Amino acid sequence: MCPILFGEIMIIDMKQYMKGYREKNKKRIAGLSKIRCSRWIKKHKEETKEYMKEYHNRYYQQNKEKIKNYMEKWKENNPEKYLEGKKIYRQNNKEKIVESNKAYRANNKEKIFEAKRKWREENPEYGKNHYKKNKKRYFENNKLWCKNNRKRSSEIASNYFKTEKGKANHQRAKYKRRARMKNIINTLTAKEWLDILKKYDYRCAYCGIKFDENNIPEKDHVIPVSKGGDNIKENIVPACRSCNAKKSNKIRRGEK
C-alpha cells in the first residue's frame, strides 16, 4: 500500500474516532472544559474581572428571553432552592438591596404610582378590610406624615376641598355640626367671647402663641359638641388653628 494513501486513511480514521469519542463523552468533555476554565479564571481573576463583567452583560443583553425562560422553568422545578437562595442573598446584601430599591423608586415614581392605583382598583375590598384592621396604625402614620410635611399636607387639603367630593363632605360636616348645635345649650355671646380672649391675654390656651392677623383665634370646646359639650362660656377656650385641629374631638386630660 502506498504510504501516502495509508497516511490519509489514518487521518480519516482518526477524525472519525475523535468524532465518535466526542459524541459518546459529551458530558465528560464539557465537565473537564468547565474545570479547566474555572481554574484558569481563578488564577487570573483580577486580570479578567472587567472582561468577564463585560462578557456577561453582553451575553445577557443578547439572550434575555432565553435566560428568562430558563429561570422561570428552574424556579418551577426548584422552588425550595430558589427561596433558600433568595433568603441567603437578602441576608448578605441588605444595604445593596435598600440602595437598589431607593434608586428604583426614585427613577420609576409614575410607574409605581400607576401600578398601585391599578391594583387598588382591581382589589377594592382588600384596601377597605386592611384599613379597618389597621385603623390606628393608619392614623398614626398619617399624623406623623402631616407633621413632617405641613406645607404639602395643607396643599393637599386645600386642593381636596376645591373638588366636588371635598365640597360635598365639607357641607355635610357643617350641616351635622349645625344640627348638633341646635340640640345643646347655646348661650355664648360676642361679649363673653371677648372676655375669654382677655382672660387668656389673647394667647392660645394650649401652646401660648400670641394671636395676630395671621394667626386668628378659634373657639375650642373643652368638651367637644360631638360628645355632648355645650356652647357656653365655661366650655370655651381660645385656640390657634394648629392646636384646635390637633385636639379635634378629643377631651384633654385634666380638663372637664
Domains of the chain, with CATH numbers? 186-256 (1.10.30)
pLDDT in tens, 132-167: 888 888 888 888 888 888 888 888 888 888 888 888
Strand runs labelled E in the chain: 218-221, 236-239
DSSP characters for 216-239? Answer: --EEEESS-GGGT--BSGGGEEEE
Determine the pLDDT at residue 135: 85
pLDDT under 70: residue ranges of the chain? 1-15, 17-18, 21-22, 27-45, 47, 175, 252-256
On the CB side of 78, how many CA atoms lie within 13 Å of its CA?
10
Determine the pLDDT at residue 9: 45
Grid cell 386630660 in the structure block, residue: 253
Grid cell 490519509 in the structure block, residue: 8
Determine the pLDDT at residue 32: 59
What's the full length of the chain, in residues?
Answer: 256
Q: Which is nearest to 223 in space by CA: 255, 193, 197, 254?
A: 255
